[in-house]
């Protein structure tokens, strides 16, 4: 998997903005991505030093569409902790 296919999009939520004060950033990542791949992708894309990566698998929720019940696809979320002093400018001011 190419490094730029690993990171899908940033996850901007209330909890995620609170984590930014601690130097942690949340990304939606490819489902088959591993911790070393996520670390390499963040370091290459944003030119920062990653200390640790935590991964959470988010299961798909059941949705109702008319009289059918449909399951949303499952996805993977990564919480990336950066070295003190580093920050990602993409998230600033959001």
Smallest Cα–Cα separation from 77: which of 15, 23, 7, 20? 7
For the segment 34-67, what is each residue's pLDDT rounded down to a tens digit? 999 999 999 999 999 999 999 999 999 999 999 9
Structural domains of the chain ordered from first start: 3-83 (3.30.70.330)
- pLDDT at position 94: 56
> Would you state the pLDDT for residue 35?
97
pLDDT of residue 91: 62
The pLDDT mean for the chain works out to 93
Whole-model pTM: value is: 0.87
pLDDT value at residue 3:
82
Residue among 72, 73, 70, 76 at smallest CA distance from 58: 76
pLDDT of residue 2: 85
């Amino acid at each position: 998997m190419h490094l730029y296919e690993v990171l899908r999009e940033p996850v901007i939520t209330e909890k995620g903005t609170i984590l930014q004060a601690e130097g942690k950033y949340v990304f939606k990542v490819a489902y088959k991505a591993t911790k070393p791949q996520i670390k390499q992708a963040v370091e290459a894309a944003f030119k920062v030093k990653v200390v640790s990566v935590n991964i959470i698998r988010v299961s798909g929720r059941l949705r109702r569409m008319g009289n059918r019940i449909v399951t949303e696809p499952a996805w993977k979320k990564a919480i990336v902790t950066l070295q003190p002093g580093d920050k990602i400018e993409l998230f600033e001011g959001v």
